[in-house]
Each structure stands twice: as C-alpha cells, then as structure tokens.
C-alpha cells in the first residue's frame, strides 16, 4: 500500500480543459488505458522530457510537434511504451496522432502523443484508434480522476493534486495528475505528469516556471536509480479564466509559481510514496554544503544505495551504510570530522564516528516510522538539497521480476 496516500484529493476542474478516457485493451482487457486531453484554442503548452538517449517514439514526436503547431490534444496510452521500436515505432505514433487529428479536425501536429508501459513491444495502433471514439465521447471538465487511473502502470493508487490561487483579485485553478512507481530516477523518471491552469501565462515564462518546478520536485526523486525512456511533464495554461497575461516580471506571477511548485512537489512525492513495494517514505536532507550540486551528490548516493534502502525496510539502524554512502559521493576534499548524521532529530554520528551516548533503541524507534528524514550536515558551507526516496522491499523484486507476465 502506498505510504500515506489515502486516495485522490479533490481535483478542481480547469476551464479550457476537457478529458476523456477509454478502454483499448492494450495490455489488460476491460481497464481504462487510453486518455485524451482536449485543450482550448490559444492554450500555451510547456513540457520537459526524459534525457534518456533511447527516448521513446512518442517523446520524439511530441517534441517535434511542439515546435510546429499550437497543441490542441494530448493522447496518452498505458500498457505499451512504444520505446525501443525504431522507425516502426515512430510510424505507429504518427498513425495514432493522425487518427485523432482526423476525428477532431485539427492538424496532426496539434496532437502530442505520450506512452508508458513495456519497452520493446509494437504499439497496438488498431486498438488505440478503435478506442478513440470512447475517449472523445467521454470528454468532460471533470475527467481528472478517471484520467489519473487510466495512466497508471505498476502504480497502486492514482495520483493527483490541485490548488487555487489568486492574482489581483482574480481566482485561478491549477490541477495535475501523475503516474510512476518504478524506474524512477531524475532526468526525469518513468513518469508522466499533466498539469494545467486556467490562468493566462506567457509561453516563455510558462516553460521557465515548469523547468524550475521540475528541478525541485520530479528531478529530486528516486526509487531505483533508473531513468526511463518515456517520461514527460506537460504544463498547460489555457487562459480561459481571463485576466491579464502573466509574464515572469508580473507582480502576480509569484502566486502562480508557488502553486505550480506545490502541485509538482505533491505529485512527485506521491510517486515515491507509491514506489514499487515501498513501505517507507525517506527524505534525504543534505545541508552545509559548498554547493547545491555536491549536496545533491551526497543525497543521491544515500537515496540510491540498495544497502541503505534495504536497511530501512528492515527498520535496522545500520547507520554505517549511510556514512559509507556519504564517503563515496565523490567529494574528494570532504573533512569527515565535520560531518554530522541525523535520523529525524536524533544525532547519530559526528567527528568521524558514532556520537557519545548513542542508544540503538532510540535509532530503531526512528527507523520504524513510515516517514523518516536522514539529515546530513557536511560542515562545508551554506548550500542545501533535498531528495525523496523509499525503501526496497521483497515486493520490489517480485513486481519487476513479474512485470511482463
């Protein structure tokens, strides 16, 4: 069961966005696995994609379409990644875009495709095309919750977040959904996220705000250290609520940026909470670094250590594993006598070794919690970085061993 997730919060409709889902039978019969987002004309769209060099066909095509035409539709399928499929995969993605474009009367480049699921399998284009009328018929402003379910793969729960914010007395909505549970590693992760607002946002400011929000959220999570071929995060600003267009210099832009970062962080943490087989949410907070980059290095060395993650699953305060991860993080001039290590508020190690008066039972009590923070003070400066991860349980191996069966 996902750590601390009790179901979807209220997801406020976004003016200018309608969503419909359908059942294409891509991997499993009788489950929602196809989603269409309809965007109001004039919507601004920003996106961030995987940096994996084997990026999937839909990622390649979505990037291409974004550069040519104002997006009007997002087409998302689960159950098949359409990655590692070569030229045939690109043709398949194009065929799906063409089919949706013909049914909606928009240019093919106005459709952005997204896929998630098994890598290396041909995309079942015929099934996807056959289910498109279901999605179009179901288009509704209230389709967020069903869409959150339809984009799931190994997720155990749907993930969503929603905020309201105001600028100059005018009220706006920001709502988003995401999926992801395994193959999670920054740049970005095997995840999909769609976030939309009805506020009018200038295109460049929208892209910059998304890049910053992703840097502090989706690019600060890791489940297993694997970067996917398919991940993408899309941000839409329909402008349907009216008002003055918000650029970065606008005094009201901060309210939008704050809401966006809050939604992205909530969605990102939900992915880690639902990490495959996860039983604990682990926050790795590194401070007193010489730079943010070295703080991130240390945080990821800890967060991606199988030895650290399995110790947390067992609630075993084997703090030496954390210390070892700090030491191998690549900071060659690290003075280990200045490093302090905490489990929540409990000081575990300082001056190169275990703190005087250490009591195993106190550390074990912290380790037994569902949510715990590893604090590392490097004693080198004022920079900080925070990363979120989860433990490794028996179920992680089972889920991934059985992924294609």
The catalytic residues are 190
pLDDT at 405 over 70: no
Instruction: Concatenate the DSSP letters of all residues of 237-268 into one string.
Output: E--TT-SSPB-TTSTTHHHHHHHHHHHHHHHH
Q: What is the pLDDT of residues 228-257, one digit of tens each?
A: 567 789 999 999 999 999 999 999 999 999
d(CA 76, CA 150): 9
Is the peptide bond prior to 340 cis by the omega test (within 30 degrees of 0)? no
pTM as predicted: 0.89
Task: For residues 2-30, give the mean pLDDT.
Answer: 92
Rounded-to-5 percentages of helix, strand, coil across the chain: 35, 25, 40
d(CA 331, CA 55): 31
For residue 127, give the nearest of 99, 154, 150 by alpha carbon.
99
Please provide the CATH number assigned to the domain covering 281-401: 3.10.20.340
pLDDT value at residue 223: 72
pLDDT at 184 over 60: no
Least confident of 44-53, 78-87, 194-203, 348-357: 44-53
pLDDT value at residue 50: 81
**Residue tagged 């914010």 (tokens):** 165
Boundaries of every domain in the chain: 17-273, 281-401
Pick the CATH number of 17-273 from 3.60.70.12, 3.40.50.720, 3.20.20.80, 3.50.50.60: 3.60.70.12
pLDDT value at residue 400: 61
pLDDT at 227 over 70: no
Q: Tokens for 376?
A: 């590392």
pLDDT at 189 over 50: no
Question: Residue 130's pLDDT band (boundaries 50, 70, 90)?
Answer: very high
CB 48 within 8 A of CB 232: yes
Q: What is the pLDDT of residues 335-392, one digit of tens each?
A: 999 999 999 999 999 999 999 999 999 999 999 999 999 999 999 999 999 999 988 8
């Amino acid at each position: 069961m996902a750590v601390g997730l009790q179901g979807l919060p209220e997801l406020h409709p976004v003016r200018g966005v309608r969503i419909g889902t359908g059942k294409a039978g891509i991997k499993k019969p009788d489950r929602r696995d196809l989603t269409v987002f309809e965007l109001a004309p004039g919507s601004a769209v920003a996106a961030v994609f995987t940096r994996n060099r084997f990026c999937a066909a839909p990622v390649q095509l979505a990037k291409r379409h974004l550069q040519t035409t104002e997006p009007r539709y997002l087409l998302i399928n689960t159950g098949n990644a359409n990655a590692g499929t070569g030229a045939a995969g690109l043709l398949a993605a194009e065929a799906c875009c063409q089919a949706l474009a013909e049914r909606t009367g928009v240019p093919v480049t106005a459709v952005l495709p997204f896929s998630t699921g098994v890598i290396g399998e041909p995309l079942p284009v015929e099934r996807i095309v056959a289910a498109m009328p279901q999605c179009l018929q179901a288009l509704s402003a209230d389709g967020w919750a069903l869409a959150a379910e339809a984009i799931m793969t190994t997720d155990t729960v749907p993930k969503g977040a929603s905020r309201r914010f105001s600028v100059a007395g005018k009220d706006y909505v920001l709502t988003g959904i995401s999926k992801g549970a395994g193959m999670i590693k920054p740049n970005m992760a095997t995840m999909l996220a769609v976030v939309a607002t009805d506020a009018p946002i200038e295109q460049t400011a929208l892209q910059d705000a998304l890049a910053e929000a992703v840097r502090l959220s989706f690019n600060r999570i890791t489940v297993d250290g694997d970067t996917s071929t398919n991940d993408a995060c899309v941000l839409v600003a329909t402008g349907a609520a009216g008002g003055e267009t918000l650029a970065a210099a606008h005094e009201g832009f901060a309210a939008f940026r704050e809401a966006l970062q809050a939604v992205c962080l909530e969605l990102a943490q939900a992915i880690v909470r639902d990490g495959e087989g996860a039983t604990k949410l682990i926050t790795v907070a590194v401070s007193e670094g010489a730079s943010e980059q070295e703080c991130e290095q240390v945080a990821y060395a800890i967060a991606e250590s199988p030895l650290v993650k399995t110790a947390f699953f067992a609630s075993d305060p084997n703090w030496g594993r954390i210390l070892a991860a700090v030491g191998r993080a690549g900071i060659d001039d690290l003075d280990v006598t200045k490093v302090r290590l905490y489990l929540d508020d409990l000081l575990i190690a300082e001056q190169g070794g275990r703190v005087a008066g250490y009591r195993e039972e106190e550390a074990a009590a912290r380790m037994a919690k569902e949510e715990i923070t590893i604090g590392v003070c490097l004693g080198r400066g004022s920079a900080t970085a925070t990363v979120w991860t989860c433990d490794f349980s028996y179920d992680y191996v089972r889920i991934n061993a059985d992924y294609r069966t």
